Structure formats: structure tokens, C-alpha cells
């Protein structure tokens, strides 16, 4: 019998700490509750969290996502 791997809710991991793996555009879309196309637009416009390529795949470092969120929060409280 094959073991079924459970998928956790990426938004829940953000509240408790990001997962210890590189994140995909799907993960980012779920975490921020936006369409995946929005994540790709952020990347094209260089306005979202920084990502990097592994071959043809885009990945996001959890530390960069955490820093991006902290930066956004600081900008909102300064305004």
C-alpha cells in the first residue's frame, strides 16, 4: 500500500514559520491569497518577493519571503 503524503496549508506555515524548503509560485499564491498569474506579474514587474530560477522553474527562499513581508509591514506602519 502506498503512503499518502498530506499537503499542509502554506498559509498556516507562514503564521507558524515558513517551511524549510524552497517555495514554488503556487505556494506564494496560496500564502498571499492571490492568483498565480499575479505572482508571475510581480516577478515581471520586479515588485514582489524576490525569486530565482532553477532551470526553467522559479523558486523562492523562505528567508526572502519573510524579509519581504517584514519590509511591507514596515512600509505600511510608516505611512
Cα gap 78→71, rounded to integer Å: 11
Residue 10 inside a domain? The answer is no
Give the CATH number for residue 34.
1.10.1660
pLDDT tens digits for 47-63? 999 999 999 999 999 99
Least confident of 5-9, 19-23, 36-40, 66-70: 5-9
| Position 35 in a domain | yes
Q: How many structural domains compose the chain?
A: 1
Q: Is residue 2 situated within a structural domain?
A: no
Contact 22, 60 (CB under 8 A): yes
| Position 52 in a domain | yes
Examine residue 4 and state whether it is found in any structural domain, yes or no: no
In a domain, 15, yes or no: no
Give the angle subtended at the CA of 40 by the CAs of 19 and 68, to the nearest 5°. Answer: 50
Share of residues in the chain with pLDDT > 70 (%): 78
pLDDT of residue 78: 80
H or E element at residue 65 = helix 62-78
pTM score above 0.85: no
Domain that holds residue 73: 20-78
- Helix or strand (DSSP H, E) at 25: helix 25-32
CB atoms under 10 Å from CB of 28, counted, come to 25
Amino acid at each position: 500500500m502506498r503512503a499518502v503524503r498530506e499537503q499542509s496549508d502554506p498559509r498556516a506555515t507562514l503564521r507558524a514559520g515558513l517551511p524549510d524548503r524552497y517555495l514554488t509560485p503556487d505556494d506564494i499564491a496560496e500564502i498571499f491569497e492571490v492568483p498565480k498569474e499575479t505572482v508571475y506579474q510581480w516577478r515581471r514587474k520586479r515588485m514582489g518577493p524576490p525569486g530565482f530560477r532553477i532551470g526553467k522553474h522559479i523558486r523562492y527562499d523562505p528567508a526572502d519571503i519573510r524579509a519581504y513581508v517584514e519590509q511591507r509591514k514596515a512600509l505600511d506602519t510608516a505611512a
